[in-house]
Structure 1
Amino acid sequence: MQQQVFVVDDDPGMLESTVWLLESVGLTARSFTDGRAFLDACEPGARGCVLLDVRMPGMGGLSVQDALRERGVTLPVIFVSGHADVPIVVRAFRAGAVDFIEKPYNEQLLLDSVQQALSQQPAGEHPALVSVRARLSALTPRERDVLLPLVRGYTNREIAEQLGVSVKTVDLYRARVMKRMQAEHLPALVGMAVAAGLVDPLALRED
Protein backbone atom coordinates (compact mmCIF):
# COMPACT_ATOMS: atom_id res chain seq x y z
CA MET A 1 0.00 0.00 0.00
CA GLN A 2 1.36 3.42 -1.00
CA GLN A 3 2.33 5.89 1.69
CA GLN A 4 -0.01 8.86 1.99
CA VAL A 5 -0.11 12.04 4.02
CA PHE A 6 -3.57 12.51 5.51
CA VAL A 7 -4.26 16.20 6.10
CA VAL A 8 -7.11 16.99 8.50
CA ASP A 9 -8.00 20.67 8.93
CA ASP A 10 -11.32 22.53 9.01
CA ASP A 11 -9.78 25.64 7.37
CA PRO A 12 -10.28 25.14 3.58
CA GLY A 13 -7.52 27.62 2.69
CA MET A 14 -4.98 26.02 5.01
CA LEU A 15 -6.03 22.56 3.83
CA GLU A 16 -5.58 23.47 0.18
CA SER A 17 -2.21 25.15 0.68
CA THR A 18 -0.86 22.24 2.75
CA VAL A 19 -1.95 19.66 0.17
CA TRP A 20 -0.40 21.76 -2.60
CA LEU A 21 2.88 21.99 -0.66
CA LEU A 22 3.04 18.24 -0.11
CA GLU A 23 2.18 17.40 -3.71
CA SER A 24 4.75 19.92 -4.98
CA VAL A 25 7.50 17.65 -3.60
CA GLY A 26 5.95 14.47 -4.98
CA LEU A 27 4.03 13.28 -1.93
CA THR A 28 0.53 11.81 -2.11
CA ALA A 29 -1.90 13.76 0.07
CA ARG A 30 -5.54 13.17 1.03
CA SER A 31 -7.51 16.01 2.58
CA PHE A 32 -10.33 15.95 5.12
CA THR A 33 -12.24 18.88 6.62
CA ASP A 34 -13.20 17.09 9.82
CA GLY A 35 -11.90 14.33 12.06
CA ARG A 36 -14.85 12.00 11.72
CA ALA A 37 -14.59 11.88 7.92
CA PHE A 38 -10.89 11.05 8.21
CA LEU A 39 -11.53 8.23 10.70
CA ASP A 40 -14.24 6.79 8.46
CA ALA A 41 -11.82 6.73 5.51
CA CYS A 42 -8.72 5.56 7.38
CA GLU A 43 -8.10 1.83 7.03
CA PRO A 44 -6.28 -0.11 9.78
CA GLY A 45 -3.41 -1.00 7.44
CA ALA A 46 -2.93 2.53 6.08
CA ARG A 47 0.68 3.62 5.55
CA GLY A 48 1.97 7.19 5.82
CA CYS A 49 1.35 9.88 8.43
CA VAL A 50 -1.31 12.32 9.61
CA LEU A 51 -1.17 16.13 9.72
CA LEU A 52 -3.82 16.94 12.28
CA ASP A 53 -5.28 20.26 13.40
CA VAL A 54 -6.03 20.56 17.12
CA ARG A 55 -9.18 22.67 17.17
CA MET A 56 -11.95 21.59 14.82
CA PRO A 57 -15.76 21.63 15.13
CA GLY A 58 -17.29 18.39 16.31
CA MET A 59 -14.22 16.27 16.88
CA GLY A 60 -10.92 17.92 17.76
CA GLY A 61 -7.49 16.62 16.83
CA LEU A 62 -6.68 15.18 20.26
CA SER A 63 -9.90 13.13 20.14
CA VAL A 64 -9.02 11.91 16.65
CA GLN A 65 -5.59 10.88 17.94
CA ASP A 66 -7.23 8.94 20.79
CA ALA A 67 -9.60 7.21 18.34
CA LEU A 68 -6.69 6.16 16.12
CA ARG A 69 -4.90 4.62 19.09
CA GLU A 70 -8.05 2.79 20.22
CA ARG A 71 -8.43 1.30 16.72
CA GLY A 72 -4.82 0.15 16.67
CA VAL A 73 -3.88 2.52 13.82
CA THR A 74 -0.18 3.30 14.20
CA LEU A 75 0.17 6.16 11.72
CA PRO A 76 2.61 8.81 13.01
CA VAL A 77 0.69 11.94 14.01
CA ILE A 78 2.00 15.48 13.47
CA PHE A 79 -0.10 18.24 15.00
CA VAL A 80 -0.29 21.55 13.16
CA SER A 81 -2.05 24.19 15.21
CA GLY A 82 -2.32 27.86 16.00
CA HIS A 83 -3.06 26.94 19.61
CA ALA A 84 0.18 25.34 20.78
CA ASP A 85 -0.06 25.96 24.53
CA VAL A 86 1.94 23.64 26.74
CA PRO A 87 -0.96 21.54 28.19
CA ILE A 88 -2.13 20.67 24.66
CA VAL A 89 1.40 19.80 23.57
CA VAL A 90 1.92 17.66 26.68
CA ARG A 91 -1.26 15.69 26.03
CA ALA A 92 -0.39 15.23 22.35
CA PHE A 93 3.08 13.85 23.09
CA ARG A 94 1.76 11.65 25.89
CA ALA A 95 -0.53 10.04 23.35
CA GLY A 96 2.34 9.43 20.93
CA ALA A 97 2.52 12.45 18.61
CA VAL A 98 5.82 12.69 16.74
CA ASP A 99 5.82 16.47 16.30
CA PHE A 100 3.84 19.64 17.06
CA ILE A 101 4.16 22.54 14.61
CA GLU A 102 2.68 25.99 15.13
CA LYS A 103 0.70 27.90 12.50
CA PRO A 104 1.63 29.78 10.46
CA TYR A 105 4.18 27.07 9.79
CA ASN A 106 7.53 27.22 8.06
CA GLU A 107 7.09 25.17 4.88
CA GLN A 108 10.49 23.45 5.05
CA LEU A 109 9.98 22.65 8.73
CA LEU A 110 6.68 20.96 7.89
CA LEU A 111 8.16 19.02 4.97
CA ASP A 112 11.11 17.87 7.08
CA SER A 113 8.75 16.65 9.80
CA VAL A 114 6.58 14.78 7.29
CA GLN A 115 9.60 13.14 5.63
CA GLN A 116 10.89 12.10 9.06
CA ALA A 117 7.51 10.56 9.95
CA LEU A 118 7.31 8.72 6.62
CA SER A 119 10.80 7.32 7.00
CA GLN A 120 10.34 6.03 10.55
CA GLN A 121 11.81 2.58 10.96
CA PRO A 122 11.63 0.16 13.90
CA ALA A 123 15.43 0.11 14.25
CA GLY A 124 18.00 2.88 14.17
CA GLU A 125 17.69 6.56 14.98
CA HIS A 126 16.60 9.23 12.56
CA PRO A 127 19.36 11.78 11.79
CA ALA A 128 17.18 14.55 13.25
CA LEU A 129 17.09 12.76 16.61
CA VAL A 130 20.85 12.22 16.49
CA SER A 131 21.19 15.98 15.97
CA VAL A 132 18.92 16.74 18.94
CA ARG A 133 20.98 14.44 21.18
CA ALA A 134 24.16 16.18 20.06
CA ARG A 135 22.72 19.59 20.95
CA LEU A 136 21.60 18.31 24.34
CA SER A 137 25.04 16.94 25.11
CA ALA A 138 26.59 20.32 24.27
CA LEU A 139 24.56 22.17 26.91
CA THR A 140 26.36 23.35 30.03
CA PRO A 141 25.34 21.87 33.41
CA ARG A 142 23.51 25.09 34.33
CA GLU A 143 21.67 25.14 30.99
CA ARG A 144 20.52 21.57 31.62
CA ASP A 145 19.43 22.62 35.13
CA VAL A 146 17.09 25.13 33.49
CA LEU A 147 16.07 22.90 30.57
CA LEU A 148 14.72 20.01 32.66
CA PRO A 149 12.12 21.88 34.75
CA LEU A 150 11.33 24.11 31.76
CA VAL A 151 10.21 21.21 29.56
CA ARG A 152 8.34 19.67 32.48
CA GLY A 153 6.07 22.72 32.63
CA TYR A 154 7.51 24.82 35.45
CA THR A 155 7.40 28.61 35.20
CA ASN A 156 10.51 30.79 35.21
CA ARG A 157 9.70 31.92 38.75
CA GLU A 158 9.34 28.33 39.97
CA ILE A 159 12.63 27.39 38.32
CA ALA A 160 14.35 30.38 39.94
CA GLU A 161 13.11 29.22 43.36
CA GLN A 162 14.30 25.65 42.72
CA LEU A 163 17.78 26.77 41.66
CA GLY A 164 18.15 29.60 44.17
CA VAL A 165 18.75 32.24 41.48
CA SER A 166 16.88 35.29 40.22
CA VAL A 167 14.10 35.16 37.64
CA LYS A 168 16.27 37.38 35.43
CA THR A 169 19.02 34.74 35.49
CA VAL A 170 16.52 32.04 34.52
CA ASP A 171 15.28 34.25 31.68
CA LEU A 172 18.85 34.54 30.42
CA TYR A 173 19.53 30.79 30.57
CA ARG A 174 16.14 29.99 29.04
CA ALA A 175 16.98 32.17 26.02
CA ARG A 176 20.37 30.46 25.70
CA VAL A 177 18.81 27.00 25.88
CA MET A 178 16.25 27.85 23.20
CA LYS A 179 18.98 29.20 20.92
CA ARG A 180 21.43 26.32 21.46
CA MET A 181 18.68 23.72 20.96
CA GLN A 182 17.44 25.57 17.85
CA ALA A 183 13.90 25.58 19.26
CA GLU A 184 11.61 28.27 17.88
CA HIS A 185 9.16 27.94 20.76
CA LEU A 186 8.63 26.05 24.02
CA PRO A 187 6.43 23.26 22.52
CA ALA A 188 9.27 22.42 20.11
CA LEU A 189 11.70 22.19 23.03
CA VAL A 190 9.30 19.89 24.88
CA GLY A 191 9.07 17.68 21.81
CA MET A 192 12.85 17.44 21.52
CA ALA A 193 13.22 16.48 25.17
CA VAL A 194 10.53 13.80 24.91
CA ALA A 195 11.90 12.40 21.64
CA ALA A 196 15.42 12.19 23.09
CA GLY A 197 14.17 10.38 26.18
CA LEU A 198 15.34 13.18 28.45
CA VAL A 199 11.96 13.41 30.13
CA ASP A 200 9.04 11.02 30.47
CA PRO A 201 5.91 12.54 28.86
CA LEU A 202 3.85 11.03 31.68
CA ALA A 203 5.81 13.15 34.16
CA LEU A 204 5.05 16.46 32.46
CA ARG A 205 2.83 18.96 34.24
CA GLU A 206 -0.45 19.82 32.54
CA ASP A 207 -1.30 22.86 34.60
Structure 2
Amino acid sequence: MPQAQQQVYVVDDDQGMLDSTVWLLESVGLKALPFTSGRAFLEACDPASNACVLLDVRMPGMGGLNVQEELRRRGIELPLIFVSGHADVPIVVRAFRAGAVDFIEKPYNQQLLLDSVQEALARRQVSAAPADPRLQAVQERLASLTPRERDVLLPLVRGYTNREMAEQLAISVKTIDLYRSRVMKRMQAETLAELVGMVIAAGLVDALDLRGAP
Protein backbone atom coordinates (compact mmCIF):
# COMPACT_ATOMS: atom_id res chain seq x y z
CA MET A 1 0.00 0.00 0.00
CA PRO A 2 2.78 2.58 0.55
CA GLN A 3 3.35 2.66 -3.22
CA ALA A 4 -0.28 3.55 -3.94
CA GLN A 5 -1.07 7.22 -4.50
CA GLN A 6 -2.48 8.94 -1.47
CA GLN A 7 -6.02 10.12 -2.01
CA VAL A 8 -8.78 11.89 -0.18
CA TYR A 9 -12.50 11.18 -0.48
CA VAL A 10 -14.29 14.54 -0.20
CA VAL A 11 -18.00 14.27 0.61
CA ASP A 12 -19.97 17.55 0.69
CA ASP A 13 -23.33 18.52 -0.82
CA ASP A 14 -22.17 22.15 -1.20
CA GLN A 15 -20.73 22.15 -4.72
CA GLY A 16 -18.74 25.35 -4.18
CA MET A 17 -17.13 24.04 -1.00
CA LEU A 18 -16.53 20.69 -2.67
CA ASP A 19 -14.75 22.28 -5.63
CA SER A 20 -12.56 24.52 -3.48
CA THR A 21 -11.55 21.64 -1.21
CA VAL A 22 -10.67 19.45 -4.19
CA TRP A 23 -8.57 22.27 -5.66
CA LEU A 24 -6.74 22.77 -2.36
CA LEU A 25 -5.89 19.09 -2.00
CA GLU A 26 -4.77 18.72 -5.62
CA SER A 27 -2.58 21.81 -5.24
CA VAL A 28 -0.35 19.84 -2.84
CA GLY A 29 -0.26 16.70 -4.97
CA LEU A 30 -3.05 14.70 -3.40
CA LYS A 31 -5.68 12.92 -5.47
CA ALA A 32 -9.12 14.18 -4.44
CA LEU A 33 -12.26 12.16 -5.20
CA PRO A 34 -15.39 14.35 -4.89
CA PHE A 35 -18.88 13.18 -3.93
CA THR A 36 -22.02 15.24 -3.32
CA SER A 37 -23.80 12.58 -1.26
CA GLY A 38 -22.94 10.00 1.35
CA ARG A 39 -24.56 7.19 -0.60
CA ALA A 40 -22.53 7.94 -3.73
CA PHE A 41 -19.36 7.85 -1.66
CA LEU A 42 -20.27 4.53 -0.02
CA GLU A 43 -20.93 2.98 -3.42
CA ALA A 44 -17.50 4.02 -4.71
CA CYS A 45 -15.42 3.65 -1.55
CA ASP A 46 -12.47 1.24 -1.79
CA PRO A 47 -11.74 -0.17 1.71
CA ALA A 48 -8.15 -1.01 0.73
CA SER A 49 -7.27 2.42 -0.66
CA ASN A 50 -4.46 4.56 0.73
CA ALA A 51 -6.97 7.23 1.66
CA CYS A 52 -8.77 9.27 4.26
CA VAL A 53 -12.23 10.84 4.18
CA LEU A 54 -13.29 14.49 4.50
CA LEU A 55 -16.97 14.33 5.40
CA ASP A 56 -19.60 17.02 5.86
CA VAL A 57 -21.97 16.46 8.78
CA ARG A 58 -25.25 17.81 7.43
CA MET A 59 -26.27 16.56 4.00
CA PRO A 60 -29.67 15.72 2.49
CA GLY A 61 -30.65 12.08 2.72
CA MET A 62 -27.72 10.50 4.51
CA GLY A 63 -25.81 12.74 6.90
CA GLY A 64 -22.16 12.41 7.80
CA LEU A 65 -22.72 10.62 11.10
CA ASN A 66 -24.85 8.02 9.31
CA VAL A 67 -22.10 7.55 6.74
CA GLN A 68 -19.60 7.05 9.57
CA GLU A 69 -21.89 4.46 11.15
CA GLU A 70 -22.24 2.60 7.86
CA LEU A 71 -18.46 2.54 7.35
CA ARG A 72 -18.08 0.98 10.80
CA ARG A 73 -20.78 -1.59 10.04
CA ARG A 74 -18.93 -2.59 6.89
CA GLY A 75 -15.64 -2.87 8.76
CA ILE A 76 -14.08 -0.03 6.73
CA GLU A 77 -11.45 1.77 8.79
CA LEU A 78 -10.45 4.73 6.64
CA PRO A 79 -9.44 7.73 8.82
CA LEU A 80 -12.33 10.17 8.87
CA ILE A 81 -12.25 13.96 9.29
CA PHE A 82 -15.51 15.85 9.75
CA VAL A 83 -15.81 19.32 8.23
CA SER A 84 -18.92 21.21 9.28
CA GLY A 85 -20.40 24.63 9.86
CA HIS A 86 -22.56 23.15 12.63
CA ALA A 87 -20.07 21.88 15.22
CA ASP A 88 -22.35 21.71 18.26
CA VAL A 89 -20.97 19.72 21.18
CA PRO A 90 -23.19 16.58 20.98
CA ILE A 91 -22.33 16.09 17.31
CA VAL A 92 -18.60 16.52 17.93
CA VAL A 93 -18.67 14.11 20.88
CA ARG A 94 -20.59 11.50 18.89
CA ALA A 95 -18.19 11.79 15.96
CA PHE A 96 -15.08 11.33 18.10
CA ARG A 97 -16.58 8.47 20.09
CA ALA A 98 -17.22 6.67 16.82
CA GLY A 99 -13.59 7.07 15.78
CA ALA A 100 -13.25 10.36 13.88
CA VAL A 101 -9.66 11.65 13.83
CA ASP A 102 -10.58 15.34 13.63
CA PHE A 103 -13.50 17.78 13.47
CA ILE A 104 -12.88 21.06 11.60
CA GLU A 105 -15.32 23.96 11.47
CA LYS A 106 -16.26 25.80 8.29
CA PRO A 107 -15.01 28.11 6.99
CA TYR A 108 -11.78 26.20 7.57
CA ASN A 109 -8.19 27.38 7.67
CA GLN A 110 -6.52 25.81 4.63
CA GLN A 111 -3.28 24.88 6.38
CA LEU A 112 -5.17 23.41 9.32
CA LEU A 113 -7.15 21.22 6.95
CA LEU A 114 -4.04 20.11 5.05
CA ASP A 115 -2.22 19.28 8.29
CA SER A 116 -5.18 17.21 9.47
CA VAL A 117 -5.36 15.35 6.15
CA GLN A 118 -1.63 14.55 6.21
CA GLU A 119 -1.91 13.25 9.76
CA ALA A 120 -4.88 11.08 8.80
CA LEU A 121 -3.03 9.66 5.79
CA ALA A 122 -0.01 8.92 7.98
CA ARG A 123 -2.27 7.01 10.36
CA ARG A 124 -3.67 5.10 7.42
CA GLN A 125 -0.24 3.93 6.34
CA VAL A 126 0.62 2.79 9.85
CA SER A 127 -2.64 0.83 10.13
CA ALA A 128 -2.43 -0.60 6.62
CA ALA A 129 -0.24 -3.56 7.47
CA PRO A 130 -1.47 -6.74 5.76
CA ALA A 131 -4.72 -7.74 7.40
CA ASP A 132 -5.40 -11.19 8.73
CA PRO A 133 -7.38 -12.92 5.95
CA ARG A 134 -9.51 -14.62 8.60
CA LEU A 135 -10.63 -11.25 9.95
CA GLN A 136 -11.31 -9.98 6.44
CA ALA A 137 -13.53 -13.01 5.85
CA VAL A 138 -15.44 -12.30 9.08
CA GLN A 139 -15.96 -8.66 8.06
CA GLU A 140 -17.30 -9.75 4.68
CA ARG A 141 -19.77 -12.07 6.37
CA LEU A 142 -20.86 -9.31 8.74
CA ALA A 143 -21.47 -7.01 5.79
CA SER A 144 -23.70 -9.66 4.20
CA LEU A 145 -26.16 -9.72 7.12
CA THR A 146 -29.57 -8.19 6.60
CA PRO A 147 -30.72 -5.36 8.93
CA ARG A 148 -32.91 -7.73 10.96
CA GLU A 149 -30.11 -10.29 11.23
CA ARG A 150 -27.85 -7.54 12.56
CA ASP A 151 -30.57 -6.65 15.10
CA VAL A 152 -30.39 -10.22 16.40
CA LEU A 153 -26.60 -10.60 16.21
CA LEU A 154 -25.49 -8.27 19.02
CA PRO A 155 -28.04 -9.33 21.67
CA LEU A 156 -27.28 -12.94 20.75
CA VAL A 157 -23.53 -12.66 21.34
CA ARG A 158 -24.11 -10.60 24.49
CA GLY A 159 -25.94 -13.53 26.03
CA TYR A 160 -29.61 -12.54 25.80
CA THR A 161 -32.12 -15.38 25.62
CA ASN A 162 -34.41 -15.87 22.65
CA ARG A 163 -37.36 -14.68 24.73
CA GLU A 164 -35.53 -11.52 25.80
CA MET A 165 -34.57 -10.77 22.20
CA ALA A 166 -38.14 -11.38 21.09
CA GLU A 167 -39.39 -8.85 23.64
CA GLN A 168 -36.74 -6.29 22.63
CA LEU A 169 -37.54 -6.59 18.92
CA ALA A 170 -41.31 -7.09 19.34
CA ILE A 171 -41.32 -10.31 17.34
CA SER A 172 -42.09 -13.92 18.23
CA VAL A 173 -39.64 -16.37 19.75
CA LYS A 174 -40.16 -18.58 16.71
CA THR A 175 -39.04 -15.73 14.45
CA ILE A 176 -35.99 -15.16 16.66
CA ASP A 177 -35.12 -18.84 16.23
CA LEU A 178 -35.28 -18.37 12.46
CA TYR A 179 -33.04 -15.29 12.44
CA ARG A 180 -30.65 -16.87 14.91
CA SER A 181 -30.24 -19.84 12.58
CA ARG A 182 -29.67 -17.52 9.60
CA VAL A 183 -27.04 -15.52 11.49
CA MET A 184 -25.12 -18.66 12.41
CA LYS A 185 -25.28 -19.88 8.82
CA ARG A 186 -24.22 -16.57 7.22
CA MET A 187 -21.37 -16.16 9.70
CA GLN A 188 -20.33 -19.80 9.18
CA ALA A 189 -20.24 -20.33 12.94
CA GLU A 190 -20.80 -23.85 14.23
CA THR A 191 -21.20 -22.76 17.86
CA LEU A 192 -22.30 -19.65 19.71
CA ALA A 193 -18.82 -19.38 21.24
CA GLU A 194 -17.31 -19.26 17.76
CA LEU A 195 -19.75 -16.52 16.77
CA VAL A 196 -18.87 -14.51 19.89
CA GLY A 197 -15.18 -14.78 19.03
CA MET A 198 -15.82 -13.48 15.51
CA VAL A 199 -17.78 -10.47 16.71
CA ILE A 200 -15.17 -9.57 19.34
CA ALA A 201 -12.38 -9.89 16.75
CA ALA A 202 -14.29 -7.58 14.42
CA GLY A 203 -14.52 -4.99 17.20
CA LEU A 204 -18.32 -4.87 17.34
CA VAL A 205 -18.47 -5.72 21.04
CA ASP A 206 -16.09 -5.56 23.97
CA ALA A 207 -15.27 -8.87 25.63
CA LEU A 208 -16.17 -7.22 28.96
CA ASP A 209 -19.58 -6.16 27.63
CA LEU A 210 -20.91 -9.72 27.63
CA ARG A 211 -23.25 -11.22 30.22
CA GLY A 212 -21.29 -13.30 32.64
CA ALA A 213 -18.00 -11.52 31.91
CA PRO A 214 -15.97 -10.98 35.08
What's the TM-score, normalizing by structure 1? 0.58
Q: Is 2:105 aligned against 1:96?
A: no
Q: Letter of the 2:15 partner, please give it.
A: P
Shift in Å, 1:44: 2.4
1:21 to 24, 28, 34: 24
Q: Is 2:72 aligned against 1:64?
A: no
Residue matched to 1:41 = 44
Instruction: Tell me if the contact between 1:44 and 1:71 (Cα under 8 Å) persists in the aligned partners.
Output: no
| Whole-Å separation in 2 of the counterparts to 1:67 and 1:115 | 24
Q: Letter of the 1:55 partner, please give it.
A: R
Shift in Å, 1:3: 2.3
Shift in Å, 1:46: 2.1
Unaligned 5+ runs, structure 1? 123-207
What's the % identity of the aligned pairs? 78
Residue matched to 1:176 = none
2:87 to 72, 84, 87: 84
- What are the residue-to-residue correspondences of 1:174-193 with 2, within 5 Å? none
Instruction: Tell me if the contact between 2:35 and 2:41 (Cα under 8 Å) persists in the aligned partners.
Output: yes
| Whole-Å separation in 2 of the counterparts to 1:4 and 1:67 | 20
Unaligned 5+ runs, structure 2? 128-214
| Whole-Å separation in 2 of the counterparts to 1:24 and 1:43 | 23
| Whole-Å separation in 1 of the counterparts to 2:65 and 2:50 | 20
Q: Is 2:118 aligned against 1:118?
A: no
Q: Number of paired residues?
A: 123
Instruction: Tell me if the contact between 2:47 and 2:78 (Cα under 8 Å) persists in the aligned partners.
Output: no
Shift in Å, 1:22: 0.3
| Whole-Å separation in 2 of the counterparts to 1:43 and 1:29 | 14
Which structure has more relative contact order (CA 8 Å, sep 6+)? It is: 1
Instruction: Tell me if the contact between 1:54 and 1:60 (Cα under 8 Å) persists in the aligned partners.
Output: yes
What's the TM-score, normalizing by structure 2? 0.56
| Whole-Å separation in 1 of the counterparts to 2:77 and 2:13 | 23
Instruction: Tell me if the contact between 1:9 and 1:56 (Cα under 8 Å) persists in the aligned partners.
Output: yes
1:43 is paired with a residue whose SS is coil
Shift in Å, 1:89: 0.2
Shift in Å, 1:2: 2.8
Segments ≥4 residues shifted beyond 3 Å = none
RMSD (Å) for aligned C-alpha atoms? 1.3
| Whole-Å separation in 2 of the counterparts to 1:35 and 1:85 | 21
Residue matched to 2:11 = 8
- What are the residue-to-residue correspondences of 1:159-198 with 2, within 5 Å? none
Greater C-alpha radius of gyration: 2
